[in-house]
């Protein structure tokens, strides 16, 4: 009953360095130089869910990501956690992609690498946090999908029984494979990478694929394939204009209240007990 499982992994800037991240005003993309990258935390839960299914039922786990060549480090970490194979889609032509172009490119990579019974993702990435890729990816693949899955199990009929977090309730679904599940962080606790896992990862296959090999439609990838574009980017001024108020404490208080009212704010003056 082994499953052929794919897990989508995104390499994101380490949130611990978010105060040092900048955006290029011309390309409108994140400047990654000097910023360490990690596996998007939500994607680690998706990988853990895949590994648990493999431990229980057998099968294979393939991780796939779209990123610059440096993201091989994050895919290697996924191999060290227990994935069997990794695929990195990396080409300058993929750069600047919005969620739709990203989803299309990932779908082409998944189709190229076999028929998967189950595709797992996190609910959202740590950088963009749009939550759009899981549904868009599933639509590109033409398979059913669920988002914000907090618990799921495989039935003997190779269907997935899943509980989904809704706004004020829990939804229960039965979904037929092949399917895509975007799992929430409460679905599990990701395992640690071990020294033995790192040693084993060195013997596993990590394939880098550019668009010459992928042969994705050039009109659907990167910036050219992105229907959404950011507007002008600028750094907001954080400077403040100060004004000194002079006089007695009573005069200063009265002057301050007058200025607050002039700004359209009605101050609440405490009454004496």
Query: Domains of the chain, with CATH numbers?
Result: 3-220 (3.40.50.620)
Listed in sequence order, the DSSP H helices in 82-130 are 99-112
- Yes or no: say if 128 and 147 are a contact pair by the CB < 8 Å rule: no
Coil, helix or strand at residue 51: helix
Each of the 273 residues of the chain gets a pLDDT tens digit; together they read 689 999 999 999 888 887 777 777 776 667 777 788 999 999 999 999 999 999 999 999 999 999 999 999 999 999 999 999 999 999 999 998 999 999 999 999 999 988 999 999 999 998 888 999 999 999 999 999 999 999 999 998 889 999 999 988 999 999 999 999 999 999 999 999 999 999 999 999 999 999 999 999 999 999 889 998 777 776 677 677 788 888 999 999 899 888 888 888 886 766 665
Confirm if 160 and 5 have CB atoms less than 8 A apart. no
Rounded to two decimals, what is the model's pTM? 0.81
Supply the DSSP string of 8-22, one letter for each residue: E--EEE-GGGGGG-E
**Residue 70 DSSP one-character state:** G
3-state secondary structure of 1: coil
Phi/psi of residue 136, each to 5°?
Answer: -65, -40
Q: State the Cα–Cα distance between residues 253 and 261, nearest whole angstrom.
A: 12
């Amino acid at each position: 009953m082994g499953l052929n499982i794919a897990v989508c992994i995104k390499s994101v800037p380490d949130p611990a360095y978010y105060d040092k991240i900048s955006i290029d005003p011309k390309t409108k993309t994140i400047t990654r130089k000097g910023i360490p990258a990690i596996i998007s935390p939500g994607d680690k839960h998706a990988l853990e869910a895949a590994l648990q299914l493999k431990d229980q039922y057998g099968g294979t786990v393939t991780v796939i990501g779209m990123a610059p060549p440096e993201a091989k480090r994050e895919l290697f970490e996924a191999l060290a956690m227990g994935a069997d194979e990794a695929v990195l889609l990396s080409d300058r032509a993929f750069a600047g992609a919005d969620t739709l172009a990203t989803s299309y490119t990932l779908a082409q990579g998944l189709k190229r690498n076999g028929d998967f019974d189950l595709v797992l993702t996190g609910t959202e990435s740590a950088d963009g946090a749009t939550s759009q890729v899981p549904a868009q990816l599933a639509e590109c693949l033409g398979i059913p999908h669920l988002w914000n899955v907090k618990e799921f199990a495989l039935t003997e009929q190779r269907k997935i029984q899943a509980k989904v977090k809704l706004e004020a309730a829990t939804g229960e679904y039965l979904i037929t494979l092949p399917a895509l599940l975007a799992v929430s962080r409460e679905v599990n606790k990701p395992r640690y990478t071990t020294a033995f896992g790192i040693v084993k990862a060195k013997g596993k296959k990590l394939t880098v694929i550019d668009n010459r090999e992928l042969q994705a439609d050039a009109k659907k990838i990167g910036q050219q394939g992105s229907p959404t574009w950011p507007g002008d980017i600028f750094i907001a001024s954080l400077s403040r204009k100060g004004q000194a108020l002079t006089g007695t404490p009573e005069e200063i208080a009265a002057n301050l209240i007058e200025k607050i009212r002039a700004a359209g704010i009605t101050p609440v003056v405490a009454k004496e007990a």
